[in-house]
């Protein structure tokens, strides 16, 4: 047990829950639960979930919490189970209201460098052991037992700092869409998940399984090459479509007849350290949220195919239970609204032991390159060890009274389209040397770092600034923050 003066102990807010919703557009905070529903016993899970559902439907409460991977046998007795340790299999806080909050106000300002990144991570599997497990999986594939196995292991380290700072840093580093923070008292969950398990809005059900990974490139061109490689990779496409078929099959058990469809297949999503491949499966359903969970849990993207036999293989090869990792975290709300992520990119803190654990892994198929799989798994852990630095995009331009901007023919881009209409005949912009090239380069940088860039605001500020130059040459800087705020300044050249 860490000392009482420890930030891990002092920053103790049991029942606090924060969930990112609407594909990352909003954050909801829940405090002071009226009740907590939890269990460590598989045979009690259905009863506890029915208690949660009744509170949501009849008392119009909100429920925020998680379901651990080892809860699976509660939904289907054919799914294998194993002891899950000290973490509850199911945990939900019940709340009277949801409070919408802004990311910057969720937690007090903290010094990330004082606690992040956590050092000393120890892998629960060596490269040799992981390679041996992959060999065993390929033997199982050769026998026809499975087509794909999601093989995982955990990292762990001692941790004695403010968990709120850790979560804030993870969210900034990952640029996730389905993040969640839960304080159960003993445990703190910090999830920066990019994967939507399922979302219910009335009768509309949606899932976005994620399967397929490639490292980011070092330049815009190299980055696009990496994206194209992922998009055209036979291995990654095969893994992705296999999982899509599993999700379609799972949804078919609770969908209205003929409504299961795939509105998006093989989409690529950019994150700070990796490209990910996702697809979307959707349907219409009259099933209750608990029935939906029973049909889909655990998410096919973190098991493999076929689900039952593959989960048996996972139990044989993975030396420890997964716990919350690859389970799900989310909320239930009145009027048939619900959202759950897949609990990946998720860190679990234990206040009693001051230990942090973090699961990683990946899908293994017949043509997987054994020596690459371990490295791919470690790549997904960079959200922990590589804090996203604070920076601004910077572009420096020359302005002189004699310059005339050229039409944008050689450097077309989404950003530079329309620059000519601002500049031609506009003396306030005509003095900027090679304006189109500078703006194209700025747009490329913004695209690479996923910074929102408003071209109208850039042009507006450049025009306003140029009106104050009084005919003397200027060095002009355009700065764009990570949130898209634009600032332009100038210095007279002598």
Known catalytic residues are 195, 211
* Residues 353/329, Cβ–Cβ less than 8 Å: no
What lies within 8 Å, CB to CB, of 113 at 6+ separation is none
Provide the 10 A C-beta neighbour count for residue 494: 5
d(CA 292, CA 286): 9
Element (DSSP H or E) covering residue 490: strand 486-492
- Residue 259 phi, psi dihedral angles, 5° rounding: -100, -10
As a whole number of angstroms, the longest Cα–Cα distance in the chain is: 81
d(CA 86, CA 185): 13
d(CA 241, CA 115): 40
* Residues 483/446, Cβ–Cβ less than 8 Å: no
d(CA 3, CA 78): 44
CA 129 to chain centre: 28
Element (DSSP H or E) covering residue 393: strand 392-399
d(CA 18, CA 358): 19
* Strand residues in 22-118 grouped as ranges (E): 26-30, 35-39, 62-67, 90-95, 99-101
Which ranges constitute the DSSP H helices of 175-233?
Answer: 220-232
* Residues 360/151, Cβ–Cβ less than 8 Å: no
Paired tokens of 182: 């839960």
**If you search the block for the tokens 């599993």, which residue do you land on?**
246
DSSP for 301-365? GGTEESHHHHHHHHHHH-SS--TTTTSEEEEEETTTEEEEEE--SEEEEETTTTEEEEEEEEEE-
């Amino acid at each position: 047990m860490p000392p009482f003066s420890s930030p891990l102990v002092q920053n103790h807010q049991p029942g606090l829950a924060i969930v990112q919703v609407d594909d990352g557009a909003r954050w909801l905070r829940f405090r002071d639960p009226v009740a907590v529903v939890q269990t460590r016993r598989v045979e009690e899970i259905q009863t506890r979930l029915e208690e949660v559902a009744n509170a949501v439907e009849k008392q119009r409460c909100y429920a925020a919490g998680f379901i651990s991977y080892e809860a699976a046998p509660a939904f289907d007795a054919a799914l294998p189970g194993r002891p899950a340790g000290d973490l509850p299999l199911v945990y939900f806080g019940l709340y009277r209201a949801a409070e919408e909050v802004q990311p910057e106000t969720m937690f007090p300002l903290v010094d990330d460098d004082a606690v992040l990144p956590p050092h000393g991570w120890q892998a629960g599997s060596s490269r040799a052991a992981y390679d041996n497990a992959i060999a065993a999986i390929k033997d199982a594939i050769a026998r026809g037992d499975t087509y794909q196995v999601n093989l995982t292991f955990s990292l762990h380290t001692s941790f004695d700092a403010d968990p709120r700072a850790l979560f804030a840093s993870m969210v900034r580093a990952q640029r996730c869409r389905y993040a969640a923070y839960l304080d159960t008292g003993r445990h703190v969950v910090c999830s920066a998940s990019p994967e939507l398990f399922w979302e219910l809005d009335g009768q509309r059900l949606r899932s976005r399984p994620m399967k397929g990974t490639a490292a980011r490139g070092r330049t815009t061109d190299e980055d696009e090459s990496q994206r194209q490689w992922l998009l055209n990779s036979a291995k990654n496409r095969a893994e992705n479509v296999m999982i899509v078929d599993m999700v379609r099959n799972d949804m078919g058990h609770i969908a209205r007849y003929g409504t299961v469809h795939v509105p998006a297949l093989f989409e690529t999503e950019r994150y700070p350290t990796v490209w990910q491949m996702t697809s979307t499966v959707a349907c219409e359903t009259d099933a209750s949220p608990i029935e939906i969970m029973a049909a889909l849990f655990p998410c096919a993207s973190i098991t493999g195919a076929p689900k039952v036999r593959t989960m048996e293989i996972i139990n044989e090869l993975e030396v420890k239970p997964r716990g919350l990792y690859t389970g799900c975290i989310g909320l239930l709300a009145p009027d048939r609204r619900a959202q759950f992520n897949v609990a990946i990119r998720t860190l679990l803190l234990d206040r009693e032991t001051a230990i942090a654990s973090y699961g990683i892994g990946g899908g293994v198929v017949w043509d997987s390159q054994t020596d690459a799989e371990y490295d791919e798994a470690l790549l997904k852990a960079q959200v922990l060890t590589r804090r996203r630095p604070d920076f601004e995009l910077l572009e420096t331009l020359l302005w002189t009274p004699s310059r005339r901007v050229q039409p944008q023919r050689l450097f077309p881009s989404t950003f530079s389209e329309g620059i000519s209409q601002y500049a031609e005949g506009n003396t306030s912009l005509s003095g900027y040397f090679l304006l189109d090239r500078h703006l194209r380069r700025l747009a490329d940088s913004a695209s690479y770092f996923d910074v929102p860039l408003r071209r109208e605001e850039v042009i507006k500020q450049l025009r306003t600034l140029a009106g104050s130059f009084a005919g003397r040459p200027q060095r002009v800087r355009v700065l764009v923050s990570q949130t898209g705020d634009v600032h332009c300044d100038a210095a007279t050249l002598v």
